[in-house]
Structure 1
């Protein structure tokens, strides 16, 4: 599949919004699956191989058709949307909603997504096992606070920025399913919850959600 996109990813991770965006764009892509630690042998890329692609050893990474490699989910999503302006998956540069789009894409990446690194493996910060429950609770409380903060400042239409689905909606839909998970997200962010439910039901994404997101 020369000239197509290559997604270095894993089910249920930050590669899912990238895959969803490429699917909506109708762009050919293939996924090279990272081997999950809990399921050795189920995938294509070992942790060592992933580290050679992305020195942070994290997914997603995206191979572009011209051979360049991108990392960082928010940057990838913005690039894909901006590279396909007719899709309206991001506000145009002169659109009044462009500053809000960039603000919230960055907010999710910095304030929320980065905390998932902690909850994925609490041993990364816990000095011993007895510390893990406190760290988990405080990190999830922080994530919930961030969702409440964002929800208080957005004014959604059908979608977060108005009537057009954007990669921001896709990003929120995926990240909101991680800890502390959707039940708490729906209570903390009721305005965004309605948008997330709408994206969940998007008929164009049903097969992808089922296969890659569960």
Structure 2
């Protein structure tokens, strides 16, 4: 038996699916674009009472929710893949810091952005203000991370980790890669490299292809 992922193309399930692809773990995806309304959220209700994606069902039948928790759990399930600094590694603290920072400070903004009326009702002007201010907040958070990481080939040095996959996906969301590259140019070099990983080319094309302004006005670096 393999894994089941409740997720959707272009969503927060994509880094989870990317890990399963890299480690060669059999899995299937239950497609549920929860931002599209109640019917889609209902698809996830049996796995996650919050009716949010991603949710992971393990081969043993355990349910794990929350993107960062799933990614960290997968690094422990597949330690041979080397997708996280192990306990005792001097990089471990910063790795855990940024793995927590992304969902707490950035990913959380998208619950508001998906349906701003949840907080401000039907006022179109108020909704537009929410979208503008959350975009500014997201860009600011990326700039804070940019100022405090010291990337090598990847964010934690020379080795790919789930943090790289996480950032590569979330940075594709609005305010899109062009603004991400403007506020986080060193991290931008890393995510271009993740975009170009040979082992994920078919995966990206299927689950989160670049469209329009996702890539920004830059040429991707070689892997």
**Fold-level similarity (TM above 0.5):** yes
1:53 aligns with 2:47: yes
Superposition deviation, residue 167 in structure 1: 0.2
1:152 aligns with 2:162: no
Write out the 4+ residue segments of structure 1 that deviate beyond 2 Å after TM superposition.
Answer: 35-40
In the alignment, the residues of structure 2 paired with residue 7 and residue 129 of structure 1 have an alpha-carbon distance, to the nearest angstrom, of: 35
Superposition deviation, residue 35 in structure 1: 5.0
Is the partner of 1:53 in helix, strand or coil? coil
In 2 relative to 1, CA 201–213 (structure 1 residues): closer, same or farther, beyond 3 Å?
A: same
Match of 1:77 in 2: 71
Say whether the 8 Å CA contact 1:82–1:92 is kept in structure 2: no
Superposition deviation, residue 83 in structure 1: 1.8
Aligned with 1:196 (options 172, 176, 191): 191
Superposition deviation, residue 36 in structure 1: 5.7
Question: What is the TM-score of this pair, normalised by structure 1?
Answer: 0.93
> Gaps (5+ residues) in structure 1?
none
Match of 1:120 in 2: 114
Is the partner of 2:87 in helix, strand or coil? coil
The number of equivalent residue pairs is 208
In 2 relative to 1, CA 70–24 (structure 1 residues): closer, same or farther, beyond 3 Å?
A: same
1:169 aligns with 2:164: yes
Question: What is the TM-score of this pair, normalised by structure 2?
Answer: 0.89
> Gaps (5+ residues) in structure 2?
210-223
Say whether the 8 Å CA contact 2:34–2:53 is kept in structure 1: no
